[in-house]
């Protein structure tokens, strides 16, 4: 089976284009918006290092944009007890409306991706993605 490697590139390109009007309205660079959305959607991740690792965004870009978000009041830093080198990134009240609007945009984007798809096909797709996710976890753990 041949997999189209263009799909992930197009998906990211179209998603970034969908975010541009909201980023412009909020006066936030795309990377800053992505950081807020990542933290808002994934509360188990709380450090800049997590964002670099999981989102694969360059550390200097994360640093610059986290600083901007802290300065503008969207994030605050909190020391992690027992490790002076690490700080948690905490979402502030100011960030909540941005994250809510971003989540609405993300849901609309996902809905648009599933246009012209039956509910049954959507269920099958989600089931297959869950299986693939489990398989990836097993591979990462050294299984299969």
Q: What would the mean pLDDT of 69-87 be, rounded to a whole number? A: 88
Do 99 and 124 reside in the same domain of the chain? no
pLDDT band at residue 81 using 50, 70 and 90 as cut-offs: confident
- Taking the alpha carbons at both ends of the chain, their separation in whole angstroms is 19
* 15-18 contacts at long range (C-beta below 8 A, 24 or more positions apart): 15/109, 18/105, 18/108, 18/109
Q: How many domains does the chain have?
A: 2
Do 143 and 128 reside in the same domain of the chain? yes
Task: Provide the pLDDT for residue 117.
Answer: 96
Task: Provide the pLDDT for residue 4.
Answer: 79
Do 33 and 86 reside in the same domain of the chain? yes
Range of the domain at 49: 6-113
In-domain check, residue 1? no
Phi-psi region of 10 (alpha: psi -120 to 50; beta: other; left: phi over 0): alpha
Is the pLDDT at 51 greater than 90? The verdict is: yes
Using only C-alpha atoms, what is the Rg of the chain? 18
Residue 112's closest CA among 18, 26, 25, 44?
18
Do 39 and 66 reside in the same domain of the chain? yes
Do 84 and 132 reside in the same domain of the chain? no
Q: What would the mean pLDDT of 43-69 be, rounded to a whole number? A: 94
Q: What are the CA-CA distances from residue 22 to residues 61, 90, 139 (Å)? A: 20, 22, 37
In-domain check, residue 78? yes
95-134 per-position pLDDT tens digit: 999 999 999 999 999 999 999 999 999 999 999 999 999 9
pLDDT band at residue 82 using 50, 70 and 90 as cut-offs: confident
């Amino acid at each position: 089976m041949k997999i189209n490697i263009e799909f992930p590139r197009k998906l990211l390109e179209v998603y970034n284009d969908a975010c541009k009007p909201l980023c412009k309205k909020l006066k936030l660079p795309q990377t800053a918006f992505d950081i807020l959305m990542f933290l808002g959607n994934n509360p188990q991740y709380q450090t800049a290092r997590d964002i670099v690792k999981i989102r694969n965004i360059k550390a200097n870009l994360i640093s610059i944009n986290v600083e901007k978000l802290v300065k503008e009041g969207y994030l605050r830093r909190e020391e992690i007890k027992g490790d002076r080198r690490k700080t948690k990134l905490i979402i502030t009240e100011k960030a909540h409306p941005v994250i809510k609007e971003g989540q609405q945009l993300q849901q609309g984007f996902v809905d648009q991706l599933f246009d012209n798809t039956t509910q049954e096909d959507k269920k099958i797709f989600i089931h297959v993605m869950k299986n693939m996710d489990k398989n990836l976890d097993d591979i990462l753990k050294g299984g299969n």
